[in-house]
Structure 1
Amino acid sequence: MTNSCSLSTNFGPTILIILAAFFFSLNTPFAPLFFDAGGNAATLNFIRMFSSSIFSVGVLLLFRNKLDLSLKTLKISAFIGLLVMGQGLCYLASVRYIPVGLAALIFFTWPMTVAIAAPFFGEKAISPKGFLFFIGGFLGIALSLGPSFDSLDWRGVSLAFAGGSLIAAMMISIRKAVIKTSPLSLAVTNNFFASLSLLAIMPFIGGWSLPNTYDAILPVVVVSIVFFSAVLCQNIGLRNVNAQSAAIIFNLEPIFSIFAAFVLLNERLEILQYFGAFIVFISLCGYQIYERKKAS
């Protein structure tokens, strides 16, 4: 087998991408605990991104790795940082106008966007048959989220689509960047620039809102750690997993979030959610088998 980026030939990196999706998913059930204590989304987003940058510096020092501060790396990191900040901001803003489930469904069109756009940036092209697995994953997410279409405000729909487009661009950009420089170094610089850009616009999006109780300590610590872990797994995994393969794996993120809410917040799961999760899993496995046959 010659395709070094396929799911089937890179089991270790694939596991890292799955872990990244899992760690990212844990932000969802813990974030409301921070909000209940008086914090807001922008503040939590800044804390998790800035702390991730600091944690990454610590790991660099621990392993005596060098931080890449070349002009080329700083430029791509600044661009990725804007994408990281922008996608989160658009997604959070969209739920002001449309239901959360609908916003999440529109947002998670981004794996299909990656499948279509990545070949224009040096990745392999997806065949129509291969793209069917991406559609299957999207339909599984739709069943799991059970979105409401009662409120179709164009502002919310536009913001959710914008967020999905930005994260698709972010995934492709990170994939191209980690091939040329250290994934850990990028974890430092990407999140630093994302934090800096968010800090600059903070006064225009509601400002700071720090919790006034100790109840916020646990969710802040957990969200910061899982976000750092997710970024690290994602960056390292993308060195050997192409953008399309990573994108279809990330369909697992909302599924993980739903089951995390079931375990941690005692939210009830419906039969359709289990069926949707099954479809996502089957789509992922089907794409893996398809890629293996193509590579053999």
Structure 2
Amino acid sequence: MTRSSPASGLVFALVSASLYGFNIVYARMASFAGASGSAIVVYRVFLMLVLVGIVAAVTRSSLKAAREERGTLLLLGIATAFVGICYLSSVAFIPVTVAAVVFYTFPILIVLASPFVEGTRLTPALLGVVALATLGVALVVGPVFGGLDWRGLALAFGASLATAIQFFAAARCRRTGVMAKTFWIHLLVLPTAALISLAAGQLVPPTALAVAPFAVAMTIGGYVFGFVLQFLALGRITAVAAGIIYCTEPVVAAISSALILDEALSPLQMTGGALVLAAIIANVVLEQRRLKDAPLVPIAD
């Protein structure tokens, strides 16, 4: 067992969110080439299981899940499957910028649900941060909703809802180590993702992903490192704090899509991105003040 450090949790969350921001841009590139989002999810989950097995064998790490957290791990596995499939599939129908911003309504869902799930007190300062982030999200989306494919919007919002569930569940899963969590979650995700992909008629052989090898590799790599850092973060900070930090992703995704995919950003969208970043900074300050005198919590890494 190690001691929980909120500061390191915030850093892990920030880096993880940035990796996810790059990840979705390359997922869109892969979809343009004909690689389906659900197929990528299946094979990246398989790769994650292989990597975790190798690392666990080399480091002799335990993959045992805490008995009292097995139900939570089951919920985490199901939620994680829907996050990946819905989010990566959404960019086949709508631009990355829109998909990322719709997806990142999940911090708002987390804050609104936190009094019922975690007993969090909604202070004026916290509500102000959420309002600022929400305004930034609205500006980034702006008028681009006109003529968008409803399937992409529904998939992105479905991923948002699943992520809110994932964050709450992960914040309650502190006794099981990150290696074990990663293994069991993905062991549950693999058959779920495979069945959904099969039902959608998108479960293709891995050779089919060779149509966009670089984009697929970047998508999978960003997910692998981002996922591990996400669960390191969620063992150290609350779901509310992490959720607001993860608003970094749509900003990173928007900038990356502009640079890599030539998806233009308007001044209004840039202003929205700046407001999201301001909300993140304010959230970090509030979280640091709240936890300044709080005792460190034992967690399993």
> What is residue 170 of structure 1 aligned with on the other side?
166
1:184 counterpart = 2:179:
yes
* TM-score, normalization by structure 2: 0.83
1:254 counterpart = 2:250:
yes
SS in 2 for 1:148: helix
Q: How many residues align?
A: 289
- CA separation of 1:70 and 1:295: change in aligned 2, threshold 3 A: closer
RMSD: 2.9
C-alpha distance in structure 2 between counterparts of 1:206 and 1:158, whole Å = 19
- CA separation of 1:260 and 1:103: change in aligned 2, threshold 3 A: closer
Cα deviations across residues 110-152 of structure 1 (Å, max 9, x unaligned)? 1011112223333532313312211211221232233523248
Residue 78 of structure 2, aligned match among 76, 82, 90? 82
1:208 counterpart = 2:198:
no
The amino acid of 1:264's aligned partner reads I
Q: Which moved further from structure 2: 263-272 or 27-36?
A: 263-272
- CA separation of 1:218 and 1:294: change in aligned 2, threshold 3 A: closer
Q: Which moved further from structure 2: 145-154 or 159-168?
A: 145-154
Same amino acid, percent of matched pairs: 23
Q: Which moved further from structure 2: 49-58 or 180-189?
A: 49-58
C-alpha distance in structure 2 between counterparts of 1:269 and 1:151, whole Å = 18
Residue 130 of structure 2, aligned match among 122, 127, 134? 134
Cα deviations across residues 217-242 of structure 1 (Å, max 9, x unaligned)? 22222222211101110111111111
C-alpha distance in structure 2 between counterparts of 1:192 and 1:157, whole Å = 28
C-alpha distance in structure 1 between counterparts of 2:148 and 2:26, whole Å = 28
Contact 2:168 2:239 in 1 (8 A): yes
Contact 1:90 1:163 in 2 (8 A): yes
Residue 286 of structure 1, aligned match among 258, 271, 282? 282
* TM-score, normalization by structure 1: 0.84
Residue 221 of structure 2, aligned match among 209, 219, 225? 225
Contact 1:99 1:148 in 2 (8 A): no
C-alpha distance in structure 2 between counterparts of 1:264 and 1:104, whole Å = 15
The amino acid of 1:193's aligned partner reads L
Q: How does 1:52-67 map to 2 (within 5 A)?
A: 52-67=48-63
Contact 1:94 1:103 in 2 (8 A): yes
Please list every run of 5 or more consecutive structure 1 residues that lacks an aligned counterpart in the other structure. none
